[in-house]
Amino acid sequence: MSWLQGSWMDHAFGQLARLPGPLFVDGLGDVTAVGDEHAEVPDIEVRWTGERRVGAHTLREGRFVPPEPAFDGDEAVFWLVEQPFVWIHLPATGDMGPGRRSRLARPMLDQGVGACILEGPFYGQRTPPGQRGALLRTVEDLLRLTRGSVVEARALIRWLERRGHRVGLTGFSMGGTLAALAAAHSDPLPLVPMATGRSAVPIFTTGVLSRNVHPSVRAGIAEQIARADLDRFDRPAGPIHVVGCRDDAYVPRAEVEALAALYDAPVSWVSGGHVAGYVRRGPLVDVLLSLATA
């Protein structure tokens, strides 16, 4: 099956769950205002704003002032279940709140593997005025989401390590790219990028998600998305295990293979496409547990 044919479930999901409008309706924005350099991040002060039970465990909501606010009034939000080892789960495209990522994390909690789930800038409780749901208005907003998530993940790594935790980075789809970028600018730690590749350019130009890209940015979006290509950055120094979906209609298999080759890392393949790969969480949990308990 070719990548463009992909999984029937991916194509069906792309139609049924299609965003209620185009991405980047206001064009590129001021893409030059978002830098590519990554300096040291400051220490953060967390304030707790809520908690609830997840089985035998406590899920706490925390907030902190982001090192680089995405917009005026922006406040970073995360959810945490503390265990000796904690995976920081970065958001996929349109991923709001802890729901989907907490379902991935939950089977690991009883085995001493916790979760820190970051709300990405521009998503959920961090949606800026004038934005409709997850519909980023400009490509500049996507660059700010990317940069903000990476900087905040690095700040959370330092904060969690000061609390005595061992920490790893993971994410599915865009979250995998964000995790890899954060790992490339951190001290050695485990990394599991899932359903993502060396470059996100094909995702926005030819994959299922490209149907949601506003026509006004199609000519210029590839150059901007390529700023986050993972071969532009150093290889993360810790242990890495790549996970791909065999019939993914969002992320080309060749890009997953290119990422594994770039990192000289093993790759595990999950049956089905992008959507089915996440629904069948068992293989993802197995990989995460193997690195967390190594």
pLDDT of residue 279: 81
pLDDT value at residue 39: 82
Question: Tell me, what's the pLDDT at 20?
Answer: 61
From the first residue on, what is the mean pLDDT of each consecutive set of 10 residues in the chain (294 residues)?
Answer: 48 48 94 88 96 93 95 95 98 93 95 97 96 95 97 98 98 98 97 98 91 93 97 97 93 96 97 84 95 94
Question: pTM above 0.75?
Answer: yes
pLDDT in the model for residue 9: 55
Q: What is the 3-state secondary structure (H, E, C) of the chain?
A: CCCCCCCHHHHHHHHHCCCCCCECCCCCCCHHHCCCCCCCCCCCCCEEEEEEEECCEEEEEEEECCCCCCCCCCCEEEEEECCCEEEEEECCCCCCCCHHHHHHHHHHHCCCEEEEEEECCCCHHHCCCCCECCECCCHHHHHHHHHHHHHHHHHHHHHHHHCCCEEEEEEECHHHHHHHHHHHCCCCCCEEEECCCCCCHHHHHCCHHHHHECHHHCCCHHHHHHHHCHHHCCCCCCCECEEEECCCCCCCHHHHHHHHHHHCCCEEEECCCHHHHHHCCHHHHHHHHHHHCC
Which residue ranges make up each domain of the chain?
8-292
Homologous superfamily (CATH) of 8-292 is Alpha/Beta hydrolase fold, catalytic domain (3.40.50.1820)
- Looking at residue 139, its pLDDT comes to 98
